[in-house]
Chains A and B, each alone.
Chain A
Amino acid sequence: MTETNSGPVDVTVLLFAAHRELVGGARDTIVSLPERATVDTLLARLRARGGGWSQLPRRAAVAVNRRYAGGDTVLAEGDEVALIPPVAGG
């Protein structure tokens, strides 16, 4: 989070339900991003991995550190970023 920090930041990406199955099963993935990368940057990177990843939505509901967050949210080292498919509780 410090401004002096340079180089990539590692975030943990969590996938659930239909998203998780699209990419073949693992709930957690570590992704390295450039400094000051946003949620939208991350989504674009994930989709660029090809295969099932490319079927992830271009814009999805996302939670950063367990709170819903906008696509322009800047990510920091160690953030937990969850892609939230349309919810169906109850």
Chain B
Amino acid sequence: MSWSDVTKDPIDPGAVLARVGRPGDGAVAFFAGVVRDENEGRPVSGMEYEGYDEMARDELAGIVAEAAGRAGTQRIAAVHRLGRLAVGEVSVAIAVSAPHRAEAFAAARYIIEEIKKRLPVWKREHYLDREAEWLEGSLPVERGNRGA
């Protein structure tokens, strides 16, 4: 019942939210990552996301499944955008509903932190005042088999 995707299409936060929730859920947590207009004092004009699409899709589905298992809710939706994004556009959106807020917040937090650690996606920041560059990322640490 959970849903995830990696896409070049713009993300509609309302559509992501609409994928979760049920009458027994009293809490809905929503997180969006948005392209901001500066980084370390430099004016940013946009962000370009490159992904290993096929693997990113599998990896995001795996992260969502882990979050579902930990939080005990299947009402999770997560989507990551690829391609060229302007300032203010949504790069990632996560919605989780659960009976209570603790599980909903925890699952959303887990998903965004794992995305940052291991989703095979890279971003090149475009600046107003100089050439674009790839941003420093984090090396996925678990190189062995990551469970089934």
Show the binding face of A for B, using Cβ within 8 Å.
14, 16-18, 60-63, 66-71, 82, 84-90
Q: Count A-B contacts at CB 8 Å.
A: 95
CB-defined contacts of B56 to chain A, threshold 8 Å:
89
How far, in whole Å, are A87 and B120 apart by their CA atoms in the complex? 6
Interface of A is mostly: mixed
Asked if residues A89 and B92 are in contact (CB atoms below 8 Å), the reply is yes
What string of 1s and 0s marks CB contacts (under 8 Å) between B50-76 and chain A? 111011101000000000000000000
Asked if residues A69 and B143 are in contact (CB atoms below 8 Å), the reply is yes
Interface of B is mostly: mixed
How far, in whole Å, are A66 and B6 apart by their CA atoms in the complex? 15
Given A61-B143, A68-B146, A84-B52, verify A89-B134 contact (CB < 8 Å).
no
In the complex, which of the residues B50, B56, B119, B143 has the most CB atoms of chain A within 10 Å of its own CB atom? B143
Q: What is the total number of residues of chain B having a CB less than 8 Å from a CB of chain A?
A: 35
CB-defined contacts of A82 to chain B, threshold 8 Å:
52, 55, 120
Asked if residues B140 and A88 are in contact (CB atoms below 8 Å), the reply is no
Show the binding face of B for A, using Cβ within 8 Å.
33, 49-52, 54-56, 58, 80, 91-92, 112, 115-124, 134-140, 142-146
Instruction: List 20 additional A-B contacts (Cβ < 8 Å) besides A61-B140, A88-B121.
Output: A14-B52, A16-B120, A16-B122, A17-B50, A70-B143, A85-B122, A85-B137, A87-B116, A87-B117, A87-B118, A87-B119, A87-B137, A88-B122, A88-B137, A88-B138, A89-B51, A89-B119, A89-B122, A90-B91, A90-B116
**Closest CB of chain A to B88's CB: distance in Å?**
16
CB-defined contacts of B91 to chain A, threshold 8 Å:
90
Q: List 22 A-B contacts (CB under 8 A).
A: A16-B50, A17-B124, A63-B52, A67-B55, A67-B58, A67-B146, A68-B143, A68-B145, A71-B143, A82-B120, A84-B52, A85-B137, A86-B138, A87-B121, A87-B137, A87-B138, A87-B140, A88-B121, A89-B80, A89-B119, A89-B121, A90-B91
